[in-house]
Structure 1
């Protein structure tokens, strides 16, 4: 289903692409979410996955990786801590810095669950060739560059990262 908006061609093209992107994302996300135990949210799964693959992280890093606010990541980590899946430790030199780590229970939980979710996502994307998967990832990154986060460094002229204007040339596309 496309847009019913009667705007310019550029507007309807953009809205139709957005609708297709969101429907695909919602569909894949819903199937991945169905694999999670009912007491675990996708955001909690994201925190556990980040800690499994990146090791202990501070809450600010987790918020940035999951595109969550500081307040939201605090709530997510609170609930994971109550479930005994993560621990927090304040830095002794800078008490503002809180490191989040998996507990043995949390590690066992995510190590069992992650392969199932990864297999589901791999299955969902098997309809696309490896080159198509790469192109989809490239297009998503190009169309939605990361939102700049406040920092002490002044932004460049645009304040946004520059996306390449075309995909790498080493991929050949079939019609």
Structure 2
């Protein structure tokens, strides 16, 4: 659905593009969610496990930054993952403010099981685009995300 705003052409185009972008992202996320692969986890919980799986132990602030979540939100996500024994928090003995988050064996097993399934589902969903279209979309999203003008 395009914008119903009637203004200067550049603003109308930007609004129309934004609407299509957000609707496409929401539709893609809904289709992936409906597959049920991540059923035991929230999207944020999966993001934490995936980051730890691929990057290794991280401090809470770095995790928060990588997942674009507030520190308060990440704290709640980590609390819930820790209750399920999927992650472990370790305080740095030299600086007790520094907490390193690591996967437990159960967390490692779960993400090793779920990640390939989710990655395959994403590949299937994006297969409506050619490889070149996927590269172009990736480049455009990176540019948009960084707010680059050139």
Report the TM range for the smaller structure's normalisation: over 0.9
Which stretch shifts more, 78-87 or 136-145? 136-145
1:29-49: CA deviations, max 9, x gaps?
Answer: 112223344441100000000
Deviating above 3 A after TM superposition, structure 1's stretches of 4 or more consecutive aligned residues are 36-39
Q: Secondary structure at the match of 1:61?
A: helix
Which structure has more relative contact order (CA 8 Å, sep 6+)? It is 2
For residue 98 of structure 1, what is the aligned residue in structure 2?
99
- The structure with the largest helix share of the pair is 2
TM-score (ref. length: structure 1): 0.81
User: How many Å apart are 1:130 and its aligned residue?
Assistant: 1.4
1:57-114: CA deviations, max 9, x gaps?
Answer: 1100100000011111111100000011101000011111101111111111111011
TM-score (ref. length: structure 2): 0.93
Structure-1 separation of matches of 2:53 and 2:40: 19
Structure-2 separation of matches of 1:142 and 1:93: 39
Structure 2: runs of 5+ lacking an equivalent: none
Structure 1: runs of 5+ lacking an equivalent: 147-162, 166-175
The CA RMSD over aligned residues, in Å, is 1.4
Matches within 5 A, 1:86-165: 86-145=87-146, 163=148, 165=150
Structure 1's 10 and 164: CA in aligned 2 closer, same or farther, altered over 3 A?
A: closer
Structure-2 separation of matches of 1:56 and 1:94: 16
1:88-143: CA deviations, max 9, x gaps?
Answer: 00001111110111111111111101111111110111111111111111111112
1:136-159: CA deviations, max 9, x gaps?
Answer: 11111112217xxxxxxxxxxxxx
